[in-house]
Amino acid sequence: MTERRTSRWTLAVRACATASILAGHLIAALPRLVTRGGRARLAERVPRLLTALGPFFVKAGQLVSTRRDLLPAHWCDALGALADDVRPPTRAAVARTLEEAGLTHAYAEFDWEPVACGSIASVHRARLADGSEVAVKVQRHGIRPVLEADLRLALAGARAGRIVPGMRDLPAEEMIGQLGGAVLRQLDFTAERQALLLLRANLAGHTELRVPAPVDGLSGPKVLTMEFVPGLARFRPLGMTAERRREVVRDVLRAVYRMLFVDGLVHCDLHPGNLCLDADGQVVVLDAGFVVELPDAVRRSFAGFFLNMAQGNGPKCADIVLDSAARLPADLDREGFRTAVTALVDEAFGALSKDFELAAFAPRLFQLQRDFGVFAAAEFAFPLLSLLVLEGMIKEFDSEVDFQAEAVPVLMASFAKDVQIDAARGGRQ
């Protein structure tokens, strides 16, 4: 059977399964749809629907739960409860992927029971011939055609959804395209290996964060072998002195700000499962599958937005949001948007720097974007939202941390870098 026929067959099978699942959930939800209170609680049912639909929809739901610039808070909260509640792959399936990668005999010992398991891959503990322990990330066998078929179905559903009055103004196709691209990129373990190497190089000498190193010669598009970090614990301040808590907070913020403002290579999935502590209390960053490389213009926009926000320059902040948007409505009230954003920035600027909370500022900015129909570019939205997720974790370590003050030295480094880049470009002209 050719690859094209296989793709068509997978698409047909997934279409039938998806239609059956949707029909079942629609029938079960009909009693709620006829009541106002039932419609309000409909979001609570969506995670069960997405879980039944399969891994693409689970991953997309997890990602869209962070897009509070697009969806109301109660929908984001409901989708945020999604988890990769999947069965571990069989030993035969893992062995087949290793065989196809030419790594069947690469490990002296291999634990077939995964230490972590998700909808895209499982992670296994192994030992090399020299005795060193490694973590082996193995992609689920046959997952790519399933995810690609589901993306095509989701895009078709978004196009069909245009006939629904409440869906006409929602940029569903663009949103699913963004989410689908982010999900499919997580299938490329070669790119993830390169992201690990770049993150290690970018952060070395600037922070104490530990990024596991990939092992040379033992990785490919579907298998990624990394150093094993023993004794990992959740990113919690338990047992730390107040001084150590402050050190950890500032180290993490320096790393994230450097990603955003200087290097432009941003880990956008720093949730509690991917930000851990090793046995010595050192911060460990895991899973580089969702790393976004910011175009230089977007990186500069990020730096400019944060600097102008700290300086209380609301009109400039509004212009940066508009200039970086993926889509603007034809009838956009540009001056109205600038006025609203300026009022929001003025309010934030009036507070003490240490009292500023992105968790309070960002939802109101996102609401303004929804109100005015401004659809943010993925490269701008995902990193900002990853910082929003990180803020809550940071506050648990040090409630007095001054986010803006910690950003200033990195912003200065960013502008110094840009001056050098612009000077070099000018010299070549």
Instruction: Report the CATH number that the domain containing residue 112 is assigned in CATH.
Output: 3.30.200.20
Q: For position 2, what pLDDT does the model report?
A: 42
Top pLDDT among 96 and 54 is at 96
Distances (CA, A) of 189 to 138, 196, 206, 355: 9, 10, 26, 40
Owning domain of residue 27: 3-84+143-185
Mean pLDDT (the chain) is 81
Pick the more confident residue, 40 or 99. 99
What's the count of helices (H) and strands (E) in the chain, helices before strands? 16, 12
Evaluate whether residue 275 is within a structural domain: yes
Residue 429 belongs to a domain? no
pLDDT, position 404 = 73
Question: Looking at the domain assignment, is residue 267 inside a domain?
Answer: yes
Residues 398 and 413 in one domain: yes
Choose the weakest-confidence range: 215-224, 371-380, 385-394, 397-406.
385-394
Q: Are residues 270 and 375 in the same domain?
A: yes
Q: Do 24 and 72 share a domain, yes or no?
A: yes
336 and 375 assigned to the same domain: yes
Please check whether residues 133 and 120 belong to one and the same domain.
yes
Q: Considering the domain boundaries, does residue 428 fall inside one? A: no
| Band of residue 69 on the pLDDT scale cut at 50, 70, 90 | low
Look up the pTM and report it. 0.77
| Cα 152 versus chain centre, distance | 21
Tell me the CA distances in angstroms from 89 to 14, 92, 417, one per residue in order.
20, 8, 46
Grade residue 268 by pLDDT with cuts at 50, 70 and 90.
confident
Q: Give the tens place of pLDDT for each residue, 150-167.
A: 888 777 776 765 655 555
Over its C-alpha atoms, the chain yields an Rg (Å, rounded) of 23
My answer on whether 177 and 197 are in the same domain is no
Query: Distance (Å, rounded) from C-alpha 281 to C-alpha 294?
Result: 30
Both structure tokens of 55: 């891994």
pLDDT score of 188 more than 90: yes
User: Do 224 and 360 fall into the same domain?
Assistant: no
- Does a structural domain hold residue 40? yes
Q: Say yes or no: 365 and 407 in one domain.
A: yes
Is the pLDDT confidence value at 179 over 80? no
In sequence order, which residues have a C-beta less than 8 Å from that of residue 146 and are 6 or more positions away?
10, 14, 54, 55, 56
Within this chain, do residues 307 and 363 fall inside the same structural domain, yes or no? yes
- Structural domains in the chain (count): 3
Same domain, 162 and 20: yes
DSSP 26-70: HHHHHHHHTSHHHHHTGGGTHHHHHHHH-HHHHHHHHHHTT-TTT
Judgement on whether residues 392 and 254 belong to the same structural domain of the protein: yes
Cα–Cα distance for residue pair 120/41, rounded to 1 Å? 30
Please check the confidence at residue 353 and state whether its pLDDT lies above 60.
Answer: no
Looking at the structure, tell me whether residues 151 and 135 fall in a common domain. no
| Angstrom distance (rounded) from CA 404 to CA 407 | 5
